[in-house]
Amino acid sequence: MKIVFASTPGQTEHIAELVRHLYSNVFPMYFADDDIKEFEQLKVLETSSQYFNDINTLQDAFQVMTCLQTIISILECGVLYENYIKLFNINAEIIQKSGLFFPFEFEQFLESKTLKKCIFSTYTKAANELLI
C-alpha cells in the first residue's frame, strides 16, 4: 500500500499566483501585448479547476511551483545566459508533463528580448492608481 498526500488549496492558489506573475511581470518584458493576448486565447498556462483536479498529489503541486519559480527567476534576471538553457528546458518539460500548456523554448525569449522595443504594456500592474 502506498500513501500519498493531496495537494492543498494554498498550493493551487500559489500556482495560480505564479502564472499571474508570469503574465503581468515576465511576459511583458519579452512580448508585445498582442502576443500575450494570443497566449491567453491559446490557454498558455491555463489554470482552470479541471487542471487542479489533475494535480492531486503534494509532490506534483510542489514540482509545478518549483518549476514555475525557476523559470520566473531565469527570465527576470535581466540577462539571459546561455548556460540557463538546459535548466529552463528541463523545467519547461516538467510543466508540460504536469498538464499545463507551456509551448516556449529558451531561444524564443532570447529572440524576443532583442526585438521588444515597447516598454509599456496593458498587462503590467499600474504603478499608481487615480482616486476620484
Torsion of Cα atoms, 77 then 83 then 84 then 89, to 10°: 160
- Contact criterion met (CB below 8 Å) for 42 and 101: yes
The whole-number pLDDT of residue 99 equals 85
Q: Is the pLDDT of residue 115 over 60?
A: no
118: pLDDT strictly greater than 60: no
Q: 511576459: which residue's cell? A: 27
Q: Is the confidence at residue 87, as pLDDT, over 80? A: yes
The HSE-up count of residue 16 (CA atoms within 13 Å, CB side) is 11
Question: CA 14 to CA 8: how far, in whole Å?
Answer: 10
pLDDT(70) > 70 = yes
Which pLDDT score, from 0 to 100, does residue 104 have? 93
Instruction: Select the more confidently predicted residue: 79 or 42.
Output: 42
Q: Which residues contact 121 (CB under 8 A, 6 or more apart)?
A: 28, 32, 33, 36
Percentage of the residues of the chain whose pLDDT score is greater than 70: 73
Q: Within 13 Å and on the Cβ side, how many CA atoms surround 90?
A: 10
Higher model confidence: residue 48 or residue 38?
38
